[in-house]
Structure 1
Amino acid sequence: MRTPRPLLAVLLPLLAVAGCSGGVHGTPGAAGVRDPYFGRLGNGGYDVRHYALDLAYDPATHHLSGTATLTARATQDLSAFDLDLKGMTVQGITVDGERAAGSRAGQELRVRPHGELAEGSTFRTTVRYSGEPVTITDPDGSREGWLRTPDGALGLGEPTGSMAWFPGNHHPSDKATYAIRVTVPRGVQAVSNGDPAGAEPSADGRRTTYTWRVAQPMASYLATVAVGRFQRKDTRTASGLPLHTAVDPAEAKASAKVLGRLPEVLDWGTETFGPYPFTSAGAIVARDGAAEYALETQNRPVFPGAPDLPTLVHEVAHQWYGDSVTPASWRDMWLNEGFATYAEWLWAEEHGGATAAATFEGLCARPGGDGVWAFPPAVPPSAAQLSDPPVYQRGAMVLHQVRRTVGDRAFRALLRGWPAAHKYGVADTGDFTAYVERENPGKARALAHVWDVWLRGSGKPARACGS
């Protein structure tokens, strides 16, 4: 999926080489945060607090130009640091307004500021870049990054695609707020995360700049930009939550019934999982085939074609589980998908469908060779298996076993307490198991059995189904 990093970086010819002064005592930040599946993803030495992205895209030429300004805090004395950027041509870099040197090696853009950045200091990095943004193929064969559509494009980031359209610290453990400006030709629109903050036509009337602001921290894989012709609708739920939907006209009729239930699903989520964590909600419905999957992009999930109701419930649940509380590494993806899948089970149980227990037993009836038993949900064997059934279905089965162990009342408290305890933060599997045990001190031994057998155990649990 990524080419190995060359031993020698290629110096960007358009950047002046700015040498560090003799008093520099910092060291370069790490090129990667040692994620178990994407070792080069993310970067060490700093924490991004805010992204200001100013993009311009022309669907006719497939040309993207951008200026990305990152406000970050140094977590060590830095002589240099890396950003993740796949493809594109970099025209210039500044750090705190001074020209900086840069070099490229694979997906790494190394930035060498004019002087040392002291630990604890806040600094601002601006990168100007342009080119034809790439589509990235995941280890599982799915596509992400910048996906062309008949009338525009769709930017999707899970797990590595955001680096195709803006430079950043692209690991879920580093969340930030965003301001996203996208200039597009007249006749098409640009929709993104967060709250709309204006649509300004150019002086000649040939382009329009759309601005969106994300006030709560967001992992970069949850960022999206959708460019095209959309039917936009801005409404509010009965409780006053702003809803912003954008639907490809070809999908409008097929989407209307399910999208009409979005306020109901949000109200149910608020009752079940706790207060909605963001300042707005909604959906983006792209044309059928624009992508191969729906994605829980923050504030407004993306659907490739008209969604069905279970998928809508799943992606809305992710706003609590995955978007507000985000996995500390990609090994913890079951926390996202297990909860969102279990949300589907709960919705069905409470709306005239199968009970969660019946769904659980149906999965338990599958033979030992079935894919749901292929590996433990907390230990996918490789990046290619991160979206396989054990992460989703068996992840939900772990939660059902927790429900059986602690009882309905405690489980309902867990559904609200877990995302509240890590609101706008990151957490891993160890954080989750410790939280459940702490909230249910009399069940420690029984919960340890759940973790050993269902969360980390290999194969179909012997004598466990139906217990």
Structure 2
Amino acid sequence: MHRRITVPGALAAACLLLAIPASAASHSPGAPGIGDPYYPDYGNGGYDVSHYDLRLKYQPATDELEGTATIEARTTQDLSSFDLDFLLDVSEVRVNGAKAAFTTSGQHELVVTPRTPLDKGTPVTVVVRYRGVPSTKSAYGFTTWHRTPDGAVAADEPEAAWWWFPSNDHPLDKATYDVSVAVPDGTQAISNGTLQSTSSKLGWTRYNWRQNKPQATYLATLALGKFDITTGTSEGGVPVVNAYSKDLGDNDGAARASVERTGELVDWLSGYFGPYPFASAGGYVPNTTTGYALETQTRVYYSPKQFANGSNASVVVHELAHQWYGDSVSLKGWKDIWINEGFARYAQWLWSEHEGEGTTQELADYVYASHPADDAFWTVKPGDPGPDNQFDAAVYDRGALAIQALRNAIGDDAFFAVLKGWPQRHAYGNASVADFQKYAEQVSGKPLAALFDTWLFQPSKPAAPAARAAALAPGRTAPARPESWRRIEATNDVHAR
């Protein structure tokens, strides 16, 4: 913002105009939100991040985190200032080597004003030095930083980064990552991707993790504590790293019996979705009180509660399916959540069929018959559910119903070609529900607008397809509950905060 100065006389005014570069007058602040209607203040405008380098130090006893984030980006407009999404206490910001002014705004905005305005298309290196106690910070009345008896975990959706690194926090701005964390000897630091190296010095051990494929900010995770770490390689050649808190108690056995199948399940899913898109796979189970699981890229987060009733390979299938549908191919806007959750749920249906515990059609019939026409379930539109219903059970179950309807409409050959081709078409990028419809039409050669509208966008129960109507007619015996349903239903709240 330029302060207006009044100078008497035309000559003086002309001299003032000459003193201000014409280019500077065109620079303006980047928007404090990226433009998502569900979350207007999430993400930021004016730049695109290519890489985050995070060098951190964490003390479990006090929950104190200090760090230096180096952010590589490029401007997408002429910028006088820009925002980062962040909550911890900042001591210094540099932009292209020069100290920059900074302040806070709103619930989670760090506003940075570089010494010199930035022209559109300029490569930018932003260095932010910070520290704080993440568990003492909240925004909008919640926190996504979860303390454990021996450390902490950062994992949540649709936001988690604010509590541990400054970012452009929206899936549209994906980037690669280097995460280097020093913790006291005996404590471990786990993050996404592959472990590049470890080193110890003066009572501290530093873990260096690298994610070499683009990753959305909410999929970046950090787990700090004492873990039993297992490593291996799937039969298909994918390296697997799993970790379990050493104090899981009675849930330990069931957690291991589930998560240790990661390599097997990655290979199985590859048969449907194509080659696994990342350099490693795995999951971790910390000792948290949360109830959800999350598809944090390459290193899935599981709550111990997911295994309170015994092993559950179905939830592992769900989260691993996201590595293709949600992680490699990420949504353009949060309204496109069906691209993530509908297909992860359908992967569970495919697993049920594989295990002989109910076919995908039997599951579809059961879900359809379980919800009468006046059930609020049908008022949720999976193709645009609204922020309050983003993780409603209907997004999962009605979302999977829509996928079965698509399969029935275009036939298995085209359907499985779509299922495998989609992650390759948009690998490491972003896509929308509309993009998926267009792709399915291209592959199948059939118009699908009416089907997508009926199953994803109408707030009412679709009519049963003619071939199923007789079996599902009122008065007929309701379809039997498939054997797999209990374990599938247990994942309905995997993302409930």
* TM-score > 0.5, shorter chain as reference: yes
In the alignment, structure 1 residue 284 sits paired with structure 2 residue 284: yes
Aligned equivalents of 2:376 and 2:151: distance in 1? 37
Offset of residue 379 of structure 1: 1.9
Which of 353, 357, 362 aligns to 1:358? It is 362
Offset of residue 137 of structure 1: 7.6
Offset of residue 288 of structure 1: 5.1
Match of 2:71 in 1: 70
Equivalent residues of 1:222, 1:323 under 8 A apart:
yes
Offset of residue 417 of structure 1: 0.7
Match of 2:104 in 1: 104
Aligned equivalents of 2:456 and 2:431: distance in 1? 16
Offset of residue 309 of structure 1: 0.7
Offset of residue 463 of structure 1: 4.2
Alignment of 1:19-58 (within 5 A): 22-23=20-21, 24=24, 25-58=26-59
Match of 2:149 in 1: 150
SS of the residue corresponding to residue 104 of structure 1 reads strand
| Alpha-carbon distance change, 260 to 84 in structure 1, aligned in 2, over 3 angstroms | closer
| Alpha-carbon distance change, 247 to 22 in structure 1, aligned in 2, over 3 angstroms | farther
Aligned equivalents of 2:122 and 2:179: distance in 1? 25
Aligned equivalents of 2:332 and 2:409: distance in 1? 26
Aligned equivalents of 2:138 and 2:298: distance in 1? 25
Cα offsets for 1:164-198 (capped at 9, x unmatched): 21111000110000000111112211000000011
Equivalent residues of 2:238, 2:263 under 8 A apart:
no
Offset of residue 75 of structure 1: 0.9
Cα offsets for 1:277-326 (capped at 9, x unmatched): 0000011111252x220000000101011461110000000000000000
Match of 1:298 in 2: 297
Offset of residue 120 of structure 1: 1.4
In the alignment, structure 1 residue 133 sits paired with structure 2 residue 134: yes
Aligned equivalents of 1:212 and 1:392: distance in 2? 32
Equivalent residues of 1:372, 1:393 under 8 A apart:
no
Cα offsets for 1:406-436 (capped at 9, x unmatched): 0011111011111111000001111111111
Runs (5+) with no aligned partner, structure 1: 1-20
1:207 counterpart letter in structure 2 = W
Larger % of helix: which? Answer: 2
Cα offsets for 1:84-118 (capped at 9, x unmatched): 112x1110000011100111112111111111222
SS of the residue corresponding to residue 250 of structure 1 reads coil
| Alpha-carbon distance change, 132 to 105 in structure 1, aligned in 2, over 3 angstroms | same
| Higher gyration radius (CA) | 2
Aligned equivalents of 2:259 and 2:360: distance in 1? 24
Aligned equivalents of 1:151 and 1:351: distance in 2? 38
Alignment of 1:166-205 (within 5 A): 166-202=165-201, 204=202
Offset of residue 136 of structure 1: 7.7
Match of 2:114 in 1: 113
Equivalent residues of 1:135, 1:145 under 8 A apart:
no
Match of 1:378 in 2: 383
Match of 1:6 in 2: none
Offset of residue 152 of structure 1: 0.4
2:179 counterpart letter in structure 1 = I
Offset of residue 356 of structure 1: 0.5
Aligned equivalents of 2:98 and 2:66: distance in 1? 21
- Of 97-106 and 238-247, more deviation after overlay is shown by 238-247
Offset of residue 343 of structure 1: 0.2
The alignment's TM-score, normalised by the length of structure 1, stands at: 0.90
SS of the residue corresponding to residue 358 of structure 1 reads helix
Which of 214, 218, 227 aligns to 1:217? It is 214
Which of 436, 439, 450 aligns to 2:440? It is 436
1:257 counterpart letter in structure 2 = A
Aligned equivalents of 1:135 and 1:156: distance in 2? 16
Offset of residue 464 of structure 1: 4.6
Which of 328, 344, 347 aligns to 2:351? It is 347
Equivalent residues of 1:81, 1:111 under 8 A apart:
yes
Offset of residue 364 of structure 1: 0.9
Offset of residue 374 of structure 1: 3.0
Aligned equivalents of 1:48 and 1:260: distance in 2? 34
Cα offsets for 1:431-457 (capped at 9, x unmatched): 11111112222x20xx22211211101
Alignment of 1:311-350 (within 5 A): 311-350=315-354
Aligned equivalents of 2:458 and 2:210: distance in 1? 43
Aligned equivalents of 1:149 and 1:41: distance in 2? 27
Match of 1:256 in 2: 256
Match of 2:234 in 1: 237
The alignment's TM-score, normalised by the length of structure 2, stands at: 0.85
SS of the residue corresponding to residue 247 of structure 2 reads helix
SS of the residue corresponding to residue 294 of structure 2 reads coil
| Alpha-carbon distance change, 159 to 135 in structure 1, aligned in 2, over 3 angstroms | farther
Cα offsets for 1:241-273 (capped at 9, x unmatched): 111111112344232322332221111111110
Aligned equivalents of 1:136 and 1:295: distance in 2? 22
Offset of residue 134 of structure 1: 4.1
Match of 2:159 in 1: 160
1:46 counterpart letter in structure 2 = Y
In the alignment, structure 1 residue 413 sits paired with structure 2 residue 417: yes
Aligned equivalents of 1:462 and 1:219: distance in 2? 38
Match of 2:373 in 1: 368
Give the aligned CA root-mean-square deviation in angstroms. Answer: 1.8
Aligned equivalents of 1:405 and 1:57: distance in 2? 53
Aligned equivalents of 1:137 and 1:308: distance in 2? 32
Match of 1:122 in 2: 123
Offset of residue 462 of structure 1: 3.3
